[in-house]
Every structure is written in C-alpha cells, then in structure tokens.
C-alpha cells in the first residue's frame, strides 16, 4: 500500500482505538487558516473548525509562536507555586469579559463541572439552601460534555444510556420554553441554585431559542435568587458574532463557561468566569486541577484572545455571517427543511425524506468541504472566523451542487 493510502490509517484506528466516534473517512495531515489537507494533498475547507475550537484558523502563527516560546521557557508548575503567565491571563480575561474572577481548567466539561460546583456551594452558603437539596435547571437537548455528572442530565440516550447511576439534583425543562422554566421555579424555586443553559444549542443542531427566552430566564433567576449560568464553550468567543452569544439577548449571566476557541485549537484550555460574590465560594482546597492555569495554557490563551481582538474576528463573524446567511437562504434546495443561522454558524436541517445528513456530508467531502452531521438530519457549518468571503463563495457553489438549488 502506498504511503498516502488512507485505508492504512483508518485500519490502525479501527483496530487499536476505542470506537467512540464515527469520523468521516478523511485522514488529515496539515492545516493552515480555514484549510486542511489530507495525505494525498487534497485541500478541504474546514467547515467544522473542531467544533469552533479553531475560530482563529489552523496553526495561527501568533499562537504557534506563543506555544513554542512558552514551551521552551516553562510549561507546568502546578498551582502549588505561582507562575508569571497566570495572573496576566486572568487580568486579560477579566477585562475582556467583564467578570471579576477567572477559574482556569482544561477541557470544556471541567469548566462546566466547575460551574456546577460553584452554583451548589453558592446555593448552600449564600442563598441558604438546606444541605444536599440544591437543584440546577438544565434543558432538553443540552450538550455540556461527557463526565458522569454531565451525561446524567443529558437527554441524548446515546450519551447517557448505560452510564448510571447518576448525580441527582438536576431538573430538565424544554429548551426555549419559558412556561416550562416558570413551572419548575414555581414548584421548586427555593431549592434552585442555578439555570445552566447554552445560549445556542450547538450539538443540538444550532438551535436558537426565542428572543425573549434568555431575558425570561434572567428574570426568573432574579425573582427566585438563582444564578444564570451560560455555557459559551461553543457559542462564545466570536462564533455568534459577539464575545458571548447570551449578550445578544441583552442579558448578563452570573457565570460563563468558555473553552474550545480560548486556545485557538492549540491546547486544551477552559475557564469559568464569575464575579467575586459567586467565585469566592471557592477557597484553598475546595477545587483545582494539576494542569489548570499552567503557563503553557496561559501563554496560548493570551495569544488566542489577542488574535480574536486584534484581527476583529468577532465583528467579522457578524458581518460575513449575515452575508452567508442571505446566500444560504437563497438556496432553493428541495432537501432543506429549515435554515438556522447566527454569526458564522449554520444548522441546515434536511427533510427526513432526504435520508439523513450523513450522505450530504460525504458528498461535500468529495467536493472539498468538511462538515459533520448532527442529530441525523442537520448539517452544521461553522468555518474558522478567519475565512475569506471568496472561500465562502467557493463553498456556496459546492453546497449548491450537492444540495441542489
Ligand atoms: C464541546 C462542549 C462542551 C465540552 O467541552 P470538552 O472540551 O469537549 O469537554 C461543553 N459545552 C458545550 C456547549 C460544548 O459545545
């Protein structure tokens, strides 16, 4: 077999790796900006961007340089000692986000776990919920990560089934349904310490709630003294055309989780952001992570945030995103049931008769576009925010060819 035969690499994965993913059969070896290349040298426009971790584009030179320079200098101290990159990054994140305090973790799921722990401790110590009684309201169709606590309140049987028993204390309500949230608050408001919500459900298929949903949740949280916590791990840092998607609804969350694009795809870095009144429930010994806030992570995140701001990727997402939405709306494909769009983020939902989104993703792959189906019938498009209009025009021609119209 030749060196570029993808079958060789696919066989290795299938034989030696756990089968916990169903990837497209493309073996990538190089990336630059919004583009990636496979072993045979074929170029693809990356319209998934590693679930929005690569908003800044692949291998952004400024972030790569920060990574290399810091790796040569100092990579890990643990938080037993201080390092000279941690404080400056926390200041930068605080000033950018408007939250007083920052707690650094690694994966997105860990940031969500941090938010859950903060909300519970705040509930007991500040709100005065009786020990062990705290409730957190979450939404149907949520995706917050893969830990046992988090999958315990997933409504996706594939994510949840077979992994119990689960952590109690979560109440699931319908996403986008304010009446449902109101009911759970009127029944259990005294025990509810937080609502944990994605401002846009990414894994759920780019589901955008009604405009009054987040403001309504904000009001309910204020009335019942609960925290509004927004999971911005995928929706934040520019994807929706704002630093935080929830701010587009004119609300301010009490806590925010970020990850993915916080490192521009170079290293796993996540954070929970909140004001002191919430964050200060954590005291020495109550929470932590060996790698959380390490100098390498901080140097990478500092550069990744710098790129986001200096290259104006957030306004770029809003402007290019609106143009692309109009172009997609003009598609007259017989297969498209609904188009959902916010920033540079699209969920193209197909009619069930189209036979699932997978075959369209495979056809797009042959045309040089990489994207992934979500929830069987939806094609999700989320190109890196550095993408050029000409690249999107190129992609639109191929989408027209594959979808018709
Ligand atoms: C990806 C994602 C997570 C989990 O992040 P990991 O880094 O995969 O643990 C949590 N919440 C949302 C909204 C996500 O999109």
From the candidates 86, 143, 170, 272, which is the catalytic residue? 143
User: Domain range for residue 157?
Assistant: 61-310
**Confidence class for position 210, pLDDT limits 50, 70, 90:** very high
Tell me: the pLDDT tens digits for 225-239? 999 999 999 999 999
Nearest CA to ligand 1 atom 15: 234
**Confidence class for position 48, pLDDT limits 50, 70, 90:** very high
C-alpha of residue 235 to centroid of ligand 1, in Å: 10
106 in a structural domain: yes
184 in a structural domain: yes
- R_g of the chain, CA atoms, integer Å: 21
Contacts of 324 (CB under 8 A, 6+ apart): 341, 344, 346, 392, 396
Tell me: the pLDDT tens digits for 239-298? 999 999 999 999 999 999 999 999 999 999 999 999 999 999 999 999 999 999 999 999
What's the token pair of residue 98? 């408007």
- Is 156 tagged catalytic? no
Domain count, the chain: 2
Final residue in a domain of this structure, among 292, 310, 328: 310
What's the token pair of residue 248? 């587009």
Same domain, 71 and 48: no
d(C-alpha 385, C-alpha 239), whole Å: 7
The confidence score (pLDDT) of residue 363 equals 96
Q: Which single residue is written with the structure tokens 């990744």? A: 304
C-alpha of residue 252 to centroid of ligand 1, in Å: 21
Query: Does residue 3 register a pLDDT over 80?
Result: no
The CB-side HSE value for 219 (13 A sphere, CA atoms) comes to 11
* Average predicted confidence (pLDDT) for the chain: 97
**Confidence class for position 50, pLDDT limits 50, 70, 90:** very high
Nearest CA to ligand 1 atom 11: 144
266 in a structural domain: yes
Same domain, 83 and 37: no
**Of ligand 1's atoms, which has the minimum distance to the CA of residue 202?**
15
The confidence score (pLDDT) of residue 4 equals 78
CB count in 10 Å sphere of residue 1: 8
C-alpha of residue 325 to centroid of ligand 1, in Å: 25
- Is 84 tagged catalytic? no
Question: Percent of the chain scored above 70 by pLDDT?
Answer: 99
d(C-alpha 110, C-alpha 270), whole Å: 8
Final residue in a domain of this structure, among 310, 330, 364: 310
Same domain, 89 and 14: no
C-alpha of residue 51 to centroid of ligand 1, in Å: 9
Closest alpha carbon to 383 in 345, 334, 342: 345
Helix (H) or strand (E) holding 158: helix 157-160
Nearest CA to ligand 1 atom 6: 108
- Tell me which of 54, 143, 229 to substitute to probe ligand 1's pocket, judged by most ligand atoms within 8 Å of the beta carbon: 143
Kindly state the greatest CA–CA separation across the chain.
Answer: 67
d(C-alpha 90, C-alpha 353), whole Å: 50
Mean pLDDT of 97-102: 98
What's the token pair of residue 257? 């989780």
**Of ligand 1's atoms, which has the minimum distance to the CA of residue 145?**
4
C-alpha of residue 386 to centroid of ligand 1, in Å: 22
Sign (positive or negative) of CA dihedral 160, 165, 169, 171: positive
- Is 231 tagged catalytic? yes
d(C-alpha 235, C-alpha 206), whole Å: 9
Strands 135-139 and 170-173: parallel
CB count in 10 Å sphere of residue 95: 9
Q: Where are the beta strands (DSSP E) in 179-317?
A: 192-197, 227-231, 255-258, 270-274
d(C-alpha 253, C-alpha 195), whole Å: 10
Nearest CA to ligand 1 atom 10: 144
d(C-alpha 184, C-alpha 308), whole Å: 38
Same domain, 334 and 356: yes
d(C-alpha 89, C-alpha 50), whole Å: 24
From the candidates 135, 260, 272, 372, which is the catalytic residue? 260
1 in a structural domain: no
111 in a structural domain: yes
d(C-alpha 292, C-alpha 306), whole Å: 20
Q: Which single residue is written with the structure tokens 């992934």? A: 372
Contacts of 13 (CB under 8 A, 6+ apart): none
C-alpha of residue 99 to centroid of ligand 1, in Å: 21
DSSP designation for 130:
P
What's the token pair of residue 202? 């990414």
Same domain, 101 and 218: yes
**Of ligand 1's atoms, which has the minimum distance to the CA of residue 142?**
13
**Of ligand 1's atoms, which has the minimum distance to the CA of residue 235?**
13
What's the token pair of residue 44? 């693809």
Expressed in angstroms, the distance from the first to the final Cα of the chain is 40
**Pocket residues for ligand 1 (CB within 6 Å)?**
51, 107-109, 112, 143-145, 198, 202-203, 231, 233-234, 259
Same domain, 258 and 396: no
**Of ligand 1's atoms, which has the minimum distance to the CA of residue 110?**
9
pTM of the model: 0.98
Tell me: the pLDDT tens digits for 361-377? 999 999 999 999 988 99
3-state helix, strand, coil in the chain (%, to 5): 40, 20, 40
C-alpha of residue 206 to centroid of ligand 1, in Å: 14
For residue 111, give the CATH number of its domain: 3.40.640.10
Same domain, 334 and 295: no
Angle at 197 between CA 193 and CA 199, to 5 degrees: 140
For residue 331, give the CATH number of its domain: 3.90.1150.10
Final residue in a domain of this structure, among 289, 310, 331: 310
- Tell me which of 145, 270, 342 to substitute to probe ligand 1's pocket, judged by most ligand atoms within 8 Å of the beta carbon: 145
Same domain, 136 and 228: yes
Give the helix ranges, DSSP H, for 105-154: 108-122, 148-152
Give the helix ranges, DSSP H, for 178-282: 178-188, 213-224, 276-279
Same domain, 303 and 334: no
- SS3 category, 315: helix
- Tell me which of 52, 53, 107, 109 to substitute to probe ligand 1's pocket, judged by most ligand atoms within 8 Å of the beta carbon: 109
C-alpha of residue 375 to centroid of ligand 1, in Å: 16
Same domain, 11 and 141: no
Contact assessment for residue 368 and residue 301, using Cβ atoms and an 8 Å cutoff: no
Same domain, 240 and 94: yes
Instruction: Give the Å distances, CA to CA, from 394 to 93, 342, 344.
Output: 36, 20, 16
- SS3 category, 349: strand
- Tell me which of 50, 110, 114, 144 to substitute to probe ligand 1's pocket, judged by most ligand atoms within 8 Å of the beta carbon: 144
291 in a structural domain: yes
**Confidence class for position 2, pLDDT limits 50, 70, 90:** low
Q: Which single residue is written with the structure tokens 């950018």? A: 96
The confidence score (pLDDT) of residue 204 equals 92
Same domain, 295 and 334: no
């Amino acid at each position: 077999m030749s060196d570029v035969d993808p079958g060789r690499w696919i066989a290795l994965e299938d034989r030696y790796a756990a089968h916990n993913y169903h990837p497209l059969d493309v073996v990538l070896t190089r990336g630059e900006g919004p583009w990636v290349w496979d072993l045979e040298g074929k170029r693809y426009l990356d319209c998934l961007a590693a679930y929005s971790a690569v908003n800044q584009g692949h291998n952004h030179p400024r972030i790569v340089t920060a990574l290399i320079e810091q790796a040569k200098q100092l990579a890990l101290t643990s938080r037993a000692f201080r390092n000279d990159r941690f404080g400056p990054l926390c200041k930068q994140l605080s000033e950018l986000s408007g939250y007083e305090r920052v707690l650094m973790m690694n994966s997105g799921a860990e940031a969500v776990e941090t938010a859950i722990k903060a909300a519970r401790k705040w509930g007991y110590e500040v709100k005065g919920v009786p020990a062990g009684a705290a409730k957190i309201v979450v939404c149907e169709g949520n995706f917050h990560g893969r830990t046992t606590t988090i999958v315990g309140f997933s409504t996706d049987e594939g994510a949840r089934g077979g992994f119990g028993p689960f952590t109690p204390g979560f109440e699931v309500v319908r996403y986008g349904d304010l009446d449902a949230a109101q009911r759970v608050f009127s029944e259990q408001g005294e025990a509810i310490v937080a609502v944990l919500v994605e401002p846009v459900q990414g894994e759920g298929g780019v589901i955008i709630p009604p405009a009054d949903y987040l403001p309504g949740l904000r009001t309910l949280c204020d009335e019942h003294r609960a925290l509004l916590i927004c999971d911005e791990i995928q929706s934040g840092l520019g994807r929706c055309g704002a630093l935080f998607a929830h701010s587009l609804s004119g609300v301010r969350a009490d806590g925010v989780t970020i990850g993915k694009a916080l490192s521009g795809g170079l290293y796993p870095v996540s954070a929970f952001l909140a004001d002191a009144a919430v964050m200060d429930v954590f005291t020495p010994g109550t929470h932590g992570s060996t790698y959380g806030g390490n100098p390498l992570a901080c140097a990478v995140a500092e550069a990744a945030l710098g790129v986001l701001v200096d290259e104006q990727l957030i306004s770029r997402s809003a402007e290019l995103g609106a143009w692309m939405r109009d172009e997609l709306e003009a598609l007259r494909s017989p297969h498209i049931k609904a188009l959902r769009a916010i920033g540079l983020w699209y969920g193209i939902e197909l009619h069930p008769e189209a036979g699932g989104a997978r075959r369209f993703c495979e056809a797009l792959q042959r045309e040089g576009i990489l994207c992934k189906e979500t929830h069987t019938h939806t094609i999700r498009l989320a190109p890196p925010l550095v993408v050029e209009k000409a690249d999107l025009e190129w992609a639109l021609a191929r989408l027209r060819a594959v979808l018709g119209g």
